[in-house]
């Protein structure tokens, strides 16, 4: 599922969740150390997901620094998606950025002359702002605004980019904006506050 722009829906990062396996030398670097902390927390979340639901509620908090460091070294980012970053604002608002290879999306299907994605090429920054809520085992991302290469784009354009990069066997249509989806790994809630995200299992 999401790992980048979708990083807007933080829990999707756990779908990849593989340990990064840093050496002790690499982990001494502050950014690498932050990525390693995030990796260990994700592994713990995935491990608990295999335990019956009767287990006590557990809260795991990630900082922006940890998640951004993790994504920078994450080997399983979708092809064509690089340099993702997240910023958690107030009241559940999330700002995310990533460099996206638009040629991969453009060439993924035949496009008509009225399709905006028929005219975008190259690698451009995609900037997205919205509100993420996670409760009762479901998440929803409410769209506010998006830019591609610095230019404002319609929600429909961002939706196609998001769907393309969040498709999985479990979600063949990808994640839809403004539409609830099941949170992975037995996650019950996600509490976003400025600078941090708390996952509740």
The C-alpha atoms of residue 111 and residue 134 are separated, in whole angstroms, by 35
C-beta atoms surrounding 154 within 10 Å:
10
Q: Which two tokens stand for residue 78?
A: 């979708």
Least confident of 22-26, 93-97, 113-117, 144-148: 22-26
What confidence tens digit (pLDDT) does each residue in 33-62 have? 998 898 889 888 888 888 766 668 899 999
Residue numbers of the domain that contains 120: 5-200
The C-alpha atoms of residue 196 and residue 67 are separated, in whole angstroms, by 9
Which pLDDT band, with edges at 50, 70 and 90, does 8 fall under? Answer: very low
Beta bridge partners of 23: none
User: Between 122 and 78, where is the model more confident?
Assistant: 122
Counted domains in the chain: 1
Least confident of 124-128, 163-167, 168-172, 183-187: 168-172
The C-alpha atoms of residue 30 and residue 106 are separated, in whole angstroms, by 38
Give the closest residue to 128 by CA, choosing from 101, 168, 162, 163. 162
Residues of 175-197 as b/e, b for ≥16 C-beta within 10 angstroms? bebeeebebbbbbbbbebeeeeb
Q: Report if pTM > 0.85.
A: no
């Amino acid at each position: 599922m999401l790992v980048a722009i979708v990083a807007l829906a933080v829990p999707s990062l756990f779908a990849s969740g593989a340990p990064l396996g840093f050496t002790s030398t690499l982990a001494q670097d502050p950014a690498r150390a932050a990525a390693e902390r995030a990796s260990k927390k994700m592994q713990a979340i995935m491990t608990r997901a295999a335990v019956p639901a009767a287990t006590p509620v557990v809260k795991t908090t990630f900082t922006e620094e940890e998640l951004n460091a993790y994504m920078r070294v994450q080997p399983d980012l979708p092809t064509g998606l690089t340099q993702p970053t997240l910023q958690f604002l107030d009241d559940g608002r999330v700002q995310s950025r990533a460099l996206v290879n638009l040629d991969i999306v453009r060439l993924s299907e035949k496009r008509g002359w009225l399709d905006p994605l028929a005219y975008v090429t190259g690698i451009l920054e995609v900037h997205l702002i919205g509100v993420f809520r996670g409760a009762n085992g479901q998440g929803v991302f409410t769209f506010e605004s998006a830019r591609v290469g610095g230019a404002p784009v319609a929600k429909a354009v961002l939706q196609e980019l998001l769907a393309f990069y969040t498709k999985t066997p479990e979600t063949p249509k990808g994640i839809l904006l403004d539409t609830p989806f099941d949170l992975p790994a037995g996650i019950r809630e996600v509490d976003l506050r400025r600078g941090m995200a708390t996952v509740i299992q």
